[in-house]
Amino acid sequence: MNKFDLSLYLVTDQSLSKGRSHEYIVEEAVKGGVTMVQLREKDISSREFYELAKALKLVLKPLNIPLIINDRLDIALAVDADGLHIGQSDLPYSIARKLLGKDKIIGLSVETIEQAREVNNVDVDYIGLSPVFSTNTKLDINTPLELSGIKEIAGFTKHKTVAIGGINSLNAESVIASGADGIAVVSAIVSQENPQEAAFNLKTIIRKAR
């Protein structure tokens, strides 16, 4: 099992960053306490994705903050990222693991309690519980798990868990208290005027909830 800290997991979204660069958002967020960063961009070319991944790796590697690539195994391999995050309809986990190797972090999204049970014996490094609440950043998703779903999954899963979907400073405490190992956020950091302060406030909430 790879060692990493899921507590405050940033997911990028250029469309929500108010014209500021990925590098700026990520640098500021890490100063505030972000522990992992996932590069997730749906509407850019492969070349742009590759260049962004390279740039973020230069920012994060000296700080020992893992860079996770969403969906794109080719990009993860091309930049030697720390890991890959895949969904239920993406490349099968077994293939991703075979190609990436045992030392890389692989996360898998689960959208229902049944899916969480199905992957309990798969040796992914963590599962993303998605969505906890309704959100505008992901529209192609199942019914929200809500806090009750987080509690149920936390009660049986063998995996580390990071919860995503509509999480912000008002509900982060309840998500951690329900059993999630960490929270993944997009707009709660990316869209804020001061990403460093937003990250610091969330990290403080996480610490108090534990």
Q: Quick: pLDDT tens for 93-113.
A: 999 999 999 999 999 999 999
Confirm if 109 and 96 have CB atoms less than 8 A apart.
Answer: no
Query: What's the predicted TM-score (pTM) here?
Result: 0.95
Residue 14 Cα distances to 18, 24, 63, 154, 167, angstroms: 8, 11, 22, 31, 18
Contacting residues for 154 by C-beta, under 8 A, at least 6 apart: 161, 178, 179, 180
How do beta strands 83-86 and 160-164 pair? unpaired
pLDDT at 150 over 80: yes
Note the pLDDT tens digit of each residue in 12-37. 999 999 999 999 999 999 999 999 99
The residue ranking higher by pLDDT, 161 or 135, is 161
Confidence of residue 138 (pLDDT cuts 50, 70, 90): low
The residue ranking higher by pLDDT, 135 or 15, is 15
Across residues 75-87, what is the average pLDDT?
98
Q: What is the mean pLDDT of the chain?
A: 95
Question: How does DSSP assign 110-139, residue by residue?
Answer: E-SHHHHHHTTTS--SEEEE--SS--SS--
CA 46 to chain CA centroid, nearest Å = 20
Helices (H), 21-130: 22-32, 46-60, 73-79, 93-100, 113-118
How confident is the model at residue 165, as a pLDDT? 95
Identify the CATH homologous superfamily for domain 15-209: Aldolase class I (3.20.20.70)
